[in-house]
Each structure stands twice: as structure tokens, then as C-alpha cells.
Structure 1
Amino acid sequence: MYQIKTFNAIADKGLNTFTPEYTINQPDNPDAYLIRSVNLLKAQFPATLKVIARAGAGVNNIPIKDATNHGIAVFNTPGSNANAVKELVISMMIATARKVFAAYDYSHQNINADISKQVEYDKAKFNGTELFGKNLLVVGLGNVGSLVANEAVNLGMNVSGYDPYLSADSAWKINNRVHRLTDLKQALKNADYVTIHVPKNKETMGLISNAEIKAMKDQVVLFNYARGGIVDNKAVVDNLGIKIQFYCTDFGDDIIADNPRVITTPHIGGSTLEAEDNGAIKAANTIMNFLENGDTVNSINLPGMKLPFNAPYRFTVMHQNVPNMVGQITTHLAQAHVNINNMANAAKAETAYTVIDVDNLNYKNQLLKQIQEIPEVRRVRLIAHR
């Protein structure tokens, strides 16, 4: 039996994904955390905890380094809310183009008046533009950005994309009418609309700042539905009404508050019932695949590995990425007269992951103790084939 501890409200469809071998929120010895936005940065992890799965994309609420040092695998669920974010971005593009928010405010302020004649006089104030034929730049062509780009093509926009780290999997998803550019400042020059869809890390913090805004054409509409901090809000405010016509973001900040050219939504990009279901289901399956098979696809702190499990037993070893680790591990197996059926090893930054399938098992407890006592090993697990 495996024990799962949840934080936040996890969609029932996700919890119902677990098989009868799993118990939910038993207080004893959790094997896994299933979370959304709970802040774990100062959490004390129990020794039994093997995996944390975030039902969503962002993991800035998880202490990745600390989890890694404790031998805990960390996962997210990329793409589970991508369609929800795409729909919100497209709707905000249409709303700003057609001045929907200003029109709503006008009608709301005149709700008790006979405005039929006044509307005919005033409606020219709300003349908008169409998206058809306009130039859109999508910065980041991953799960969300590729969907936004493809939808914008369907709307008749001229779409360009900038992503120096575009993966082969993501590239297959992108409409061939999306023109890929390799220089950000060059890409910004002709865009009427710019939307940001990159992960938040050291390289992307302040990605759009004064120099990038200076490269834009006048009266661009800018969208940030990725993460706060990727767009320099002070630089935006300094250029509102000049370079930037409107700034739409999902991340509030005092510096952009109460500005008529800033439209802030309360971090609702992925907040749909469907996205919550998708994230919870994906996170539940991720936990089960890791605990039962050692799979690490979509891991944040381990290399993505998925091996057929055809042998009776599987060792998984999370360890530092240093020389001779595989040799030390297999030496202990050889000394116990254990035959290796299959083996794989991969690394991600300073952490490596070794999977060894074996045909027989001698001195199980002694073997686990010997491998765990290798100084560079963070956690060793033995999984029996079901």
C-alpha cells in the first residue's frame, strides 16, 4: 500500500484515478505529496516521502534543491492547463482589440439612462480593430505558446515565434505558417501584439525590459500569462501610452495597479474545471508510474526516463552525478550474485538516476543498505514487478 497526502483542493477525478493500492490522506507515512499551490519552501519532509507531484506547471512553491538532497523526485504536469491559458489569452486579445472593457465601463456608468441616442453619438469612441491581418509575436513556443500561435493563425493573424530552446516535440505541434525568428529584438520590431509564454528562471527574469520595449513598434499590446517577473513592470509603466497601448497580465503588482492601460486578471490563466481535472489526473498517474515503475517523465529534478519493466525486480538509485557511481552500485549486485537483466543511467545537472532490472534477488536488505551507504547516493528503492 502507498499513502498519498494532498494539499489544496485536488479535483475528485484526480483522486479517483488512484488504484485501490493507494490510500489518501492517511496521517502516518506518506509516500507522495499531491499538491497545487501550497507553499512548501520551509516544509520539513518526512523520511518516507519519495515524490512530490504538482498538479500544474509552476514549481516555485517547492524547494527543489532541498527535495533533491532528501532523495525526493519532483514532478509537474506541463500542458494540463495549456488550453485554458490559450483561451484566456485569445479572449484578452479580442477584448483589447475591440475595447470591450472601456465599452463595458461606459454602459455600466450609464445603466439608468436612456442612452440609445447617446450611444450613437459616443460609440465612435469604442471603434476597435480586428485581429485579422495583424502581426503577433509569441515568445516561447512550448505547451501554451504553440497553442496560442496556432489559434492566432486560424484567426488570420501573421504569426511569428521566438524560442531558442524549442524542443523537437513542441516543434511538431506548431503550424507551418508560424514564422520562427532567432533574435528577440529583431522579432519585436513588427509585432502589433506580443505574448509571453516562457518558464520563469534566471535566464527569463526581466526578459522583457527597457531594451526590448524600445525595440517594439509604437502602440503594441503586451500580454504576460506566463509568470510574474518575466516582464519588467516598471519598464512597462514607463512606456504605457507610448510604446505600449495596453498591458494585460495575470500577475498583480503595486506598480501597475489602478492604471487604465493595464488589465490585470487574478491569476486565472489555468483556472478552469477542465484544467484542474487534467492536472490532478496527470499528477496522480505520474505518482503511480514513479512509485510502481520508477518512471521519471516530467520530473523537474531527475532526467526523464521510462523503461519497460519486464524483470522480477527493479532498483532505482537517485545519486549525485559523479564518476564511478554505476560501477559502485553494480559491484554490490555482483558480490550478491544478482544477475542484471537491463540497466539505464542518465543525468540532469548535478543529479543522476540509475535504473537496474534484475532477475534474482539475494540479501535484499543488505544490498539496499550497502547501496544507500554509498556517500553520493540520495535514495535507493527496490520495486517488485506486479
Structure 2
Amino acid sequence: MSFKIQTLNKIAAIGLNVLDRDNYEIATDINNPDAILVRSAEMHDMQISDNVKAVARAGAGTNNIPIPELSEKGIVVFNTPGANANAVKELVMLSLLLASRPVIDANKWTNELAGKGDEIPAIAEKGKSQFVGPELMGKTLGVIGLGAIGAMVSNLAQHFGMEVIGYDPFLSVKSALFLDKKIKLAETLDSVYAKADYITIHVPQTNDTKGMINAAAIKNMKNGVRIINIARGGLVNNADVLAAIDSGKVSCLVSDFAAEELLNHKNVICLPHIGASTPEAEDNCAVMAASELKDFLENGNIVNSVNFPKTLTENPIPSGGTRLCICHKNIPDMISKFTSILGDAKLNIASFINQARGDIAYNIIDVDGFVSDEIIAKLASCDTVSRVRPIFG
């Protein structure tokens, strides 16, 4: 079997090497790709070939991908949760320090002393008082979202002597077990806002979370709060935060998402989306994304999809047989339709896995024997089926 992979961004070579060149053709300009590898490229206005079976995002966020449209076409969208978590965690910790100690301004001021020669030490000593900032020790950090990154930030902040209070209504068992026992869990966002000297956000951008840091939320925060956003730009209403900075309610905003209104504003540190910009994170994301595509294309397995259910089989594809990967709406009686069609064709089902996520269902059906184009067409013609993909053994 051979596959065509289109890359919309530069993908680390170590990740592309997961896809052996005997079976994979990889290029930026490629006709009718089987799958797409992407980082931050905008896909919402992109014409996507009907031949595309999967999109893998080398990163966690997927707001650059038109997920509802792809779901309707039976296209699986993967991401790489946790692959860049350490890189983002480290930038968050740096941001906490930058929000406290005005080291950027201090460095800029010190550089302006160039040319004053032997006078510099005395001038620097006299001028340092304008760059005073609080310590992290003893302060309270509110962490909104306790996934891979939020949990790592929470644990590390404790080593800085901070009190940590976290909020996550969807806290997974895995993340809960990873959290230090000293970390307090809040039942509401308002209880975090009321107690936190620093707030860092680690949630995906959805209709529910977009603009969540706004005037109403800020009103419930402590005076002088410092806000860190290394997650997604749309989580913060910039106008509301800037107004709060001007009034003194908010002491500082550190954002990894450049916007015109944030640039050169007092007490705002704006970065160019560098949260995952480490060679280690780029390698980890590329390897995970390529591995997810490879397993899906070759075996039909789905892991770390944002729109399809996790579906795994360790069974090999039957020798001389066919593995059918079927996407459809999660409605009653679909399984009986598939088994009836295969039974009428005198094809024996060796194994059958059905998983659902919301209104999407996915099946891996192993058949002892060759499934013809005619039978595949019959399966595809069933109501609500969006894709039938055979993998031949």
C-alpha cells in the first residue's frame, strides 16, 4: 500500500522519518493527498480533496482546522496532546516571573546606558529602584484547566513556594493522579478569581471558553492580579483586560498571541506564539502526529482524535482478507445493516469493533475474504455513512 501526505507547514524531519518513503510520498504541493500534516496553517478556507482521510495537527490546539466540515466527510482529525506540554510549561513559569519582575524594562533601560563608561555601575545602582517587583513565594496561583500543561504548571509552581488552586470541571483521572496532593481544587471559577494573585489559563478555545477572561470575570478577581495566557488568544477579551490594566485592577498581562492593541501597552508583555517553539517540542509533536496517521492509514486505528472515538484493535488484518473502516452517524440499526450486507455476500466477519463519540460512530470490521468494490459501494450507500475505507490483507 502507498499513501500521499501533504504538509502545510514545516514538519520536523524526525517525525517525517516515521513514514517510510517506500510507502509514503510526502510533499507540500501534492495532488489528492490521503492525509494532511499541519501545525498552525489556516485550513478554514482551504479546498480539501475528497480523497483526504485524515488530518493530523502537530500540536494540541485545532482551531485552525474546520472540524465540523471534516467530520461530515468522515475525515478524522488528530492532535498531539502532551507532546509540547513541557515546552509550554516552561514558558508559563517564565511568564510568571516576567509578570512579577520587570526584567525586560530593566534590560532595555540598562542597554541605554551604553557609552557612559565607568559611570555605568553607579548609574545602574541608583536606577534599579524603579524595577522592583514581587516574589512568587507565598502568592496564590490560579490554574484554569488541569490537563497535561495545567497539571505540570501546578506542580512546578509549588516548588516556587506558591499556593496553587486549580479549576477543571472535566478533570481526568490521569491528570488527577498526576497532581500534587497539596494542590487545592476549586468548584467554581469565581472562587479561583477571588483568591488568585496570578491566573494562568490552559483550556481549549471553544464557544464556551472564547472571551472567558472579560470584564465580568475581572470584576471578581483580586486587585492587582496578574494574568498569563499561553493557551489561545481568543480566551482573553483584550479590550477588557487593557481597560482593567489602565484602571489598576490588573497589574500585568502576559500573552503569547500578538495583537495590534496589545503592542507597546503599559504592563503588557506580548510574545509571538512561542509556547511550543523548542526543538524538543517540535520533534515530539511531529513524531506523535506522524505515528497517529501511520497507524490510522495502515491499520484503521484511531488514537488522539478530536472528532472521532478512540478505536483500537491489536488484531492483524486477516491474510487475504479485508479490514473495513466505516464512518457513520451514531444512530440505531447501523451495525445490523453492515452485517446483513456482508452476510448476504457470504463473507465471514472475523472481528467487529464499534465505538461512538457524540453523533459520530466508527467501526473496524475484519472480514475473512476479499470485499469487492460492489459490496463496498453497498455499505457506503447505507443512510448516514460518510466513508467506507477498505484495507486489504
TM over 0.5: yes
Question: Which residue pairs with 1:262 in the alignment?
Answer: 268
- Structure 1 residue 221, shift from structure 2 partner: 0.8
How do 1:1-386 residues align onto structure 2 when only pairs under 5 Å count?
1-19=2-20, 20-25=22-27, 27-113=30-116, 114-240=119-245, 242-312=248-318, 313-358=322-367, 360-385=368-393
**Kept after mapping to 2: 8 A contact 1:336/1:362:** no
In structure 1, list runs of 5 or more residues that go unmatched: none
- Structure 1 residue 139, shift from structure 2 partner: 0.4
* Superimposed CA distance per residue, residues 142-164 of structure 1 (whole angstroms, 9 cap, x where no aligned partner): 12111111111122211110111
SS at match of 1:14: helix
- Taking a change above 3 Å as real, the CA distance of residues 288 and 36 of structure 1, as seen in their structure-2 partners, is same
In structure 2, what residue type is equivalent to 1:40? M
The CA distance in 2 between the partners of 1:5 and 1:211, in whole Å, is 44
- Backbone CA RMSD of aligned residues: 1.6
SS at match of 1:189: helix
* Superimposed CA distance per residue, residues 318-337 of structure 1 (whole angstroms, 9 cap, x where no aligned partner): 01122211111111111122
The CA distance in 1 between the partners of 2:371 and 2:220, in whole Å, is 66
SS at match of 2:233: coil
The CA distance in 1 between the partners of 2:324 and 2:31, in whole Å, is 25
**Kept after mapping to 1: 8 A contact 2:194/2:220:** yes
SS at match of 1:352: strand
The CA distance in 1 between the partners of 2:317 and 2:125, in whole Å, is 77
In structure 1, what residue type is equivalent to 2:290? A
- Structure 1 residue 216, shift from structure 2 partner: 1.1
> Could you state the TM-score of these two structures normalised by the residue count of structure 1?
0.95
> Could you state the TM-score of these two structures normalised by the residue count of structure 2?
0.93
In structure 1, what residue type is equivalent to 2:132? N
- Structure 1 residue 363, shift from structure 2 partner: 4.6
SS at match of 1:226: coil
- Between 1:309-318 and 1:256-265, the stretch displaced more is 309-318
- Between 1:95-104 and 1:229-238, the stretch displaced more is 95-104
**Kept after mapping to 2: 8 A contact 1:315/1:381:** yes
- Between 1:317-326 and 1:166-175, the stretch displaced more is 166-175
- Structure 1 residue 231, shift from structure 2 partner: 1.3
The CA distance in 2 between the partners of 1:189 and 1:101, in whole Å, is 29
- Taking a change above 3 Å as real, the CA distance of residues 119 and 24 of structure 1, as seen in their structure-2 partners, is same
- Taking a change above 3 Å as real, the CA distance of residues 125 and 28 of structure 1, as seen in their structure-2 partners, is closer
SS at match of 1:260: coil
The CA distance in 2 between the partners of 1:357 and 1:174, in whole Å, is 41
In structure 2, list runs of 5 or more residues that go unmatched: none
SS at match of 1:229: helix
- Structure 1 residue 365, shift from structure 2 partner: 2.0
The CA distance in 2 between the partners of 1:352 and 1:143, in whole Å, is 27
